[in-house]
């Protein structure tokens, strides 16, 4: 079964997380599929806007934890550049056409950080965003250590990234992470209709406007993705991460008293 559904209509490429039984957690293969789809969409005249969506009950539980464990066990000399997640992040952060997201239910880790690289974000009133990197012995990714304080202000960013507790759609609306909060069953449809509005506009003007909007931070974002990627690769092999991943698999609370 394909875990990323892809469909183009009316100038909108819709990419749908389709791994609901695993809460749409994202594997290396899924990152590669997403990155390749975006790379192709950037050059495809039939695609003018991209919509990323999940299910009305779950956007994404973030990185697949079993994949994290496998990556942590891989040879240490593998660099962040080898990681499919980093490839996806570099591609989405540089994607030139408008990106719309529809988020319902939990959006964990990269399920939240990828939204910082989308242009319009619509959320169901059941959306629960979280950045639980510290709780997993990890560090921020997707340039979120730069973009979250920029958007939320430092103290709210520190709360989100150090405590890692979920915050709901209304709070996300207040800090500017989402454009509108809507009923979950309507969210994908509303996001689709906004994406189609964008797709009907002159593409050259859209692309140039997005380039100008991002001009002052594009290079810094790519640089931060690299810096965070190196810290992340180290953190993934730490005793704290090992304990957090093992605890998740064993369905118990992690014990960080020795790390
Ligand atoms: N990686 C791998 N498997 C995952 C997963 C993940 N990130 N998230 C959920 N799953 C699996 C669960 O292990 C469970 O498998 P099982 O049916 O074999 O027991 C199944 O998906 C359902 O998840 P469950 O936790 O029972 O669903 P829930 O509705 O109670 O909670 C979440 C949903 C998203 C809140 C919860 O699954 C969660 O917190 N997941 C981990 C998120 C995380 O830490 N991601 C990494 C971010 S960097």
Domain boundaries, the chain: 4-183+202-206
pLDDT tens column, 112-125:
999 999 999 999 99
Q: What is the pTM of this model?
A: 0.98
- Report the alpha-carbon distance of residue 172 to residue 38 in Å, rounded: 26
pLDDT tens column, 19-48:
999 999 999 999 999 999 999 999 999 999
pLDDT tens column, 1-18:
899 999 999 999 999 999
C-alpha distance from residue 165 to each of 137, 195, 205, 210 (Å): 15, 30, 39, 31
Q: Which CATH architecture has domain 4-183+202-206?
A: Alpha-Beta Complex (3.90)
Sequence length of the chain is: 259
CA–centroid distance, residue 221 to ligand 1 (Å): 29
CA–centroid distance, residue 29 to ligand 1 (Å): 18
pLDDT tens column, 97-151:
999 999 999 999 999 999 999 999 999 999 999 999 999 999 999 999 999 999 9
Please give the share of the chain, as a percent, with pLDDT higher than 70: 98
Q: Which amino acid residue places its CA nearest to atom 12 of ligand 1?
A: 22
189-190-191-195 Cα dihedral, nearest 10 degrees: 100
Residue 181, strand partner residues: 123
| Substitution site in 17, 18, 19, 23 for ligand 1 pocket (most atoms within 8 Å of beta carbon) | 23
Token output for 79: 């660099």
Query: For position 164, what pLDDT does the model report?
Result: 98
**Averaged pLDDT, 194-206:** 98
- Report the alpha-carbon distance of residue 110 to residue 186 in Å, rounded: 23
| Residue ranges lining ligand 1, Cβ < 6 Å | 22-23, 25, 61-66, 106, 108-109, 132-133, 136
Query: Is the predicted pLDDT of residue 77 greater than 80, yes or no?
Result: no
CA–centroid distance, residue 65 to ligand 1 (Å): 8
Give the three-state DSSP class for 149.
helix
Query: For position 126, what pLDDT does the model report?
Result: 98
- Report the alpha-carbon distance of residue 113 to residue 163 in Å, rounded: 16
Can you tell me which atom of ligand 1 is nearest the CA of 138?
A: 48
Under 8 Å between Cβ of 83 and 74? no
CA–centroid distance, residue 25 to ligand 1 (Å): 7
Q: Which amino acid residue places its CA nearest to atom 21 of ligand 1?
A: 22
């Amino acid at each position: 079964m394909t875990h990323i559904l892809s469909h183009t209509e009316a100038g909108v490429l819709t990419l749908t997380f389709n791994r609901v039984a695993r809460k749409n957690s994202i594997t290396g293969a899924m990152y590669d599929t997403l990155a390749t789809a975006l790379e192709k969409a950037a050059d495809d005249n039939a695609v003018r806007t991209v919509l990323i969506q999940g299910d009305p009950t779950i956007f994404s539980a973030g990185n697949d934890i079993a994949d994290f464990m496998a990556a942590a066990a891989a040879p240490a000399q593998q660099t962040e550049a080898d990681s499919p997640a980093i490839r996806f992040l570099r591609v989405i952060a540089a994607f030139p056409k408008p990106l719309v997201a529809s988020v319902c239910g939990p959006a964990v880790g990269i399920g939240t950080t990828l939204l910082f690289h989308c242009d319009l974000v619509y959320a169901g009133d059941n959306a629960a965003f979280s950045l639980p990197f510290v709780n997993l012995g990890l560090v921020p990714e997707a340039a979120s250590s730069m973009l979250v304080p920029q958007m939320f202000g430092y103290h709210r960013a520190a709360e989100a990234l150090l405590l890692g507790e979920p915050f709901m759609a209304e709070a996300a609306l207040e800090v500017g992470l989402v454009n509108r909060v809507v009923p979950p069953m309507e969210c994908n449809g509303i996001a689709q209709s906004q994406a189609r509005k964008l797709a009907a506009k002159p593409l050259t003007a859209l692309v140039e406007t997005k380039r100008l909007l991002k001009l002052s931070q594009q290079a810094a974002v790519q640089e931060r993705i690299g810096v965070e990627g190196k810290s992340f690769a180290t953190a993934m092999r730490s005793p704290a991460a090992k304990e957090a991943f093992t605890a998740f698999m064993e369905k118990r609370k992690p014990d960080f008293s020795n790390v």
